[in-house]
Structure 1
Amino acid sequence: MSRATSTGTGKPYGLQRVCRVLGFPRSTIYAGRARESGNVVPLVAQRRGPKPEMPDAALLEAIRADLAASPFTGEEHRKVWARLRILRDIRVSRTRVLRLMRENTLLSPHRRPQDKSAQHDSTITTSRPNEMWGTDGVRIETVADGWVWVFSAVDHWHACCVGIHAVKTGNRFAALQPIAQGLLGEFGGTGAEVGRGLTLRMDHGSQYTADDFLNQVRFWGVTPSFAFVAEPQTNGVAERFNRTLKEQAIHGRIFRNLEEVRAAVVEFKDRYNRHWRLEKLGFMSPHEARQAATLKEAA
């Protein structure tokens, strides 16, 4: 339109006049013409500050190698960042690891929406091992044996699984088995008062409220401690272990019978204790944290 000729003056209108009348910036038109002519090189956003010692391509390769070597699936960026520092001495920013994993779709798909704040605002972690254990059970379906139960016991300090038991009938006696395993391994026996000073956190399931269960626990010298009603986070250590168990060893598999379930959970218990890294432990595994506590106590 700027090149159109005025019928009154016989001269072109001009770009300046046309843009002024239409209220359109001339700079936009000039920029468009420059792009079309190919004389303008587009600016690419550059990272501010000094360049990192390890380029993104090399770091991404290290991240992929770490994920491939990990015995677990669906891990988030913090554990990848921690393993790179601890196992390979690759010291980079955690936000940089997050960015590369996000850009290359390497983040875990397991994301939960933010919920309202929980009623329970206290803590269930302890200052030393064997002060409080959490216990809970999950059900797993098999082809030949139908539904079976897996009961576990987890230490609240270093989240170490001290006992795990797979059984067909999930009654009160089956629920006692991981506790007995833990007492035998941590306290050296299952006699009277062997677990004095230990507290056992559990929910209000029928196995845990049964007289036989409570009487046996008290015989061992263990103090029962029930989680708050309708607040599973108060038994969060055992609940979190069960979630990890299901994600890493149960989901996506078809079990033929109870023996396959038993083999899978026993193998997972050892793999979890030795290799699963927790942020609350400074990204040590439960086994490493227990060793560190033993050495500190011996010193």
Structure 2
Amino acid sequence: MSATFFRTAFAKLGRPSQESRNMIRKDNGLSIRRQCELLGLNRSGLYYTPTGPNQAAVRLDESLMERIDHWHTRCPYLGSRKIVAKLQEEGFSVCRKTVRRLMLKMGIYAIYPKPNLSKRNFKESIVPYLLRDYTVSFPNQVWSIDITYIPMPHGHMYLTAIIDWYSRRLVGHYLSDSLEAESVIHAVTETVKACGVPAIINSDQGSQFTSDDYKNLLRNLNIRQSMDGRSRWADNIMIERWFRSLKTEQLYPNEYRTPRELRRLINQYVDDYNNIRPHEALGYKVPNEFYFACFAA
């Protein structure tokens, strides 16, 4: 192959690529250095072989995340130090830095007052908590939204759920493999289509809820946004308790291997929770009865 061939090939390729690397030959009359010069390649790049993620490390992280979720659900007041102790009791050789990294990845935090409740955006993105001493008198007046981590046999999923304060009815939920803002935007959009527009939606100060896309959605729907006060974990406790009930009563006792099976279990629990589970706070009525009675009156 001649130098002219390499110049022509480089002009066609436009920029260095795997295809151009594959054109390098040891027996074409040009040195490796000269071929790299003509193709615009860094010679050291020829000897680099990309490696995928360490599968053993990935499996270890998934095992740790499953146990972290177990202990967080069972004892939501445990911080990273105490979770490290529980994991070490179970035979895991793990440090606090690893546990904190995984808790951040899962989007969970210990339920007790502390300065930093969750990963936040800039301070100007935080909005006030609107529900202190606030009386809820009818459905769709106030909703709470949050996200929880759910372990899978291979990987994990995230569940976004929305609950109505007045009736305790689970009005919307969405299962996703992503912790991005798109999941909460989808959940709110579909829930509004099914149930109408609430007056207020309350959330924690997580990055999904401080994102511009989420804030613009609520603004366009004329929904007032409320966020938990700093160091006030109990402000969104209603949805946190629902997540705990879902996991301890439905997900932990049952097997699920695929997102479809997990989705079926969640849908079944939501249906049972809304239709057959009485609440003392509702005079032992079920959420759906309490929710729809107001519209029938």
TM-score (norm 2): 0.53
**Aligned partners of 2:160, 2:181: CA distance in 1, in Å?**
11
Structure 1 contact 135–202 (Cα < 8 Å) conserved = yes
Matches within 5 A, 1:48-63: none
The aligned residue for residue 269 of structure 1 is 270
The aligned residue for residue 202 of structure 1 is 203
| Per-residue Cα deviation, 1:149-189 (whole angstroms, up to 9, x for no partner) | 001000010011110111111210101222222211112xx
2:241 matches 1:232: no
The aligned residue for residue 257 of structure 2 is 256
2:142 matches 1:138: no
Describe the SS at the equivalent of 2:174.
strand
Higher helix share: 2
The aligned residue for residue 167 of structure 2 is 158
The aligned residue for residue 213 of structure 1 is 214
Amino acid at match of 1:152: A
Aligned positions, number: 170
Describe the SS at the equivalent of 2:168.
coil
Task: Report the Cα offset of residue 253 of structure 1.
Answer: 3.3
Distance change (3 Å), C-alpha of 1:138 and 1:124: farther
Task: Report the Cα offset of residue 252 of structure 1.
Answer: 3.0
2:180 matches 1:167: no
Task: Report the Cα offset of residue 289 of structure 1.
Answer: 0.5
**Aligned partners of 2:276, 2:144: CA distance in 1, in Å?**
20
Describe the SS at the equivalent of 2:145.
strand
| Per-residue Cα deviation, 1:1-26 (whole angstroms, up to 9, x for no partner) | xxxxxxxxxxxxxxxxxxxxxxxxxx
**Aligned partners of 1:175, 1:263: CA distance in 2, in Å?**
20
**Aligned partners of 2:240, 2:247: CA distance in 1, in Å?**
11
4+ long deviations beyond 4 Å: 120-125
2:290 matches 1:289: yes
Unaligned runs of 5+ in 1: 1-114, 188-194
Matches within 5 A, 1:98-113: none
The aligned residue for residue 186 of structure 1 is 195
Structure 1 contact 164–265 (Cα < 8 Å) conserved = no
Structure 1 contact 164–177 (Cα < 8 Å) conserved = no
**Aligned partners of 1:261, 1:124: CA distance in 2, in Å?**
36
Task: Report the Cα offset of residue 230 of structure 1.
Answer: 2.8
Amino acid at match of 1:168: D
Structure 1 contact 148–166 (Cα < 8 Å) conserved = yes
Task: Report the Cα offset of residue 248 of structure 1.
Answer: 1.8
Unaligned runs of 5+ in 2: 1-111, 114-128
Give RMSD over aligned pairs.
Answer: 2.3
Task: Report the Cα offset of residue 236 of structure 1.
Answer: 1.7
Task: Report the Cα offset of residue 217 of structure 1.
Answer: 1.7
Structure 1 contact 154–163 (Cα < 8 Å) conserved = yes
Task: Report the Cα offset of residue 124 of structure 1.
Answer: 5.8
Matches within 5 A, 1:58-137: 126-137=136-147
**Aligned partners of 2:293, 2:138: CA distance in 1, in Å?**
11
% identity of equivalent residues:
23
| Per-residue Cα deviation, 1:208-262 (whole angstroms, up to 9, x for no partner) | 1111111112111111100112322111221121122112222233431222221
Distance change (3 Å), C-alpha of 1:210 and 1:257: same
Structure 1 contact 203–227 (Cα < 8 Å) conserved = yes
